[in-house]
Amino acid sequence: MPESWWGNAIFSLIPTIVLGLLFWMVLRYIIRGDRTARLEYDRIEAEERAKAGLPPKGTADASTPAASAAPGAQAAEGAPASTPAPDEPAR
């Protein structure tokens, strides 16, 4: 153990700094691994969707009309508030 004040301060901080760097490295590897796995999964999913003849993942959401996504959009357009069931005749 160092006898000087500066020696004690450095001797006390070195383990904290080393453990902090080790923790940072482990978290960095985990985050990078997760990002790489997600990119690989997205690539595989895009290939499988292409093989199945489906559109790419982002275009399926864009093809839905924006009016149907808003609540109360049918009432604002003048359409009836309730739609009949498939086996129920329309009025």
Q: List, as one string, the DSSP characters of the chain.
A: ---SHHHHHHHHHHHHHHHHHHHHHHHHHHHHHHHHHHHHHHHHHHHHHHHHTPPPHHHHHHTS-HHHHSTTHHHHHT--SSPPPTTSPP-
0.75 exceeded by the pTM? no
pLDDT, one tens digit for every residue, the chain (91 residues): 678 998 999 999 999 999 999 999 999 999 999 999 999 999 999 999 999 999 988 875 545 555 455 555 555 555 555 555 566 555 5
